[in-house]
Amino acid sequence: MRRAGRVVREVLELVRGHVKPGATTLDLEKAAEARLAQLGVKAAFKGYHGFPCVLCTSINSEVVHGIPSSKRVLKEGDIVSVDFGVVVDGYYGDAAITVPVGRIDADTARLLAATEASLQAGIAVVKPGATLGDVGAAVQGVVEREGFSVVRDFVGHGIGAQMHEDPQVPNFGEAGRGMKLRAGMVIAIEPMVNAGRPDVMVLDDGWTAVAKDGSMSAHFEHTVAVTASGARVLTE
C-alpha cells in the first residue's frame, strides 16, 4: 500500500505543477494519464461505478467527483480539488489536494489552510485504541473553529484490497465514540469543507457534488495506516 501511495503522491504533485490560469481540467487528466502509462500503473477511479476519468477535478463550489473537461478552464483566483487513486499489485492508495490557481483571496486561502490542518489533526490522533469518533471530532474541531462547515454527505473509508472498505470514517463526531482503531487497519481520512453551509447537491451529470449555497469548498485526503506507534501516512 505504501507503493500505491507513493504513486498517488507523485502524480498529484505532477498535476499540481500543471495548475495555472488557462489550463483546463482535461489538461490535468492528460498529464496524470501519461505518467500512469509510463509507470504501468492502473488508475483506481476510471471505470469505478462508470466514472470516466483517472482524476476527479472539482472547481470552487464543487465539493467532489467533478469530471475533467476541455470546457473547464481554470482562471486566476479559482481553487481546484484533485482526488486520485491507484491500485498496485492489488492494493489501493487514495489522496486529494486542493490547489490555488494563481493568487486567491484571503478567505479562500484560510479555507484551504483549515481543511489541510483538519486532516493533519485527524491523522494526529490515529493510534491503536483511538476511536473513529476521536478522528472525526479532531477534524471537525479545527474546521468549526475557523467558522467553516464539514460536509456530512461524504465521508472517508477503510481502504486495502478494495478502494472503499468498511468502516466509514466521518469527518465529524464525538471523541470516544465509534469503532476502535487497531494496528494493521488502513483508513482514508478526507475532510471536505465548505466555507458556508455543509449542504451539498449532485449536478445533472450524476457525479459532480456542489455546495448548495455556492460557497467555496476544499478537500484534502491521505491514506493512513494504523501502526503500534501511531499513524503512518502512506500517501505522503
Interface ranges with Mg ion (CB under 5 A):
94, 188, 190
Cell numbers placing 200: 451539498
Residue (104 or 209) nearer to Mg ion, CB: 209
CB of 16 to Mg ion, least distance (A): 18
Q: Which CB, 59 or 189, lies closer to Mg ion? A: 189
- Cell digits of residue 143: 474546521
| Residue 141 half-sphere exposure toward CB, CA atoms < 13 A | 12
Nearer to Mg ion among residue 158 and residue 196 (C-beta): 158
Least CB distance to Mg ion at residue 75 (A) = 27
Q: In angstroms, what is the minimal distance from the CB of 221 to Mg ion? A: 5
Give, for 200, the enclosing helix (H) or strand (E).
Answer: strand 200-202
Q: Smallest distance from the beta carbon of 174 to Mg ion, in angstroms?
A: 23
Say how many Å lie between the first and final Cα of the chain, rounded.
Answer: 12
Phi-psi region of 200 (alpha: psi -120 to 50; beta: other; left: phi over 0): beta
Number of H helices, E strands in the chain: 4, 15
Of the two residues 92 and 148, which places its CB atom closer to Mg ion in the complex? Answer: 92
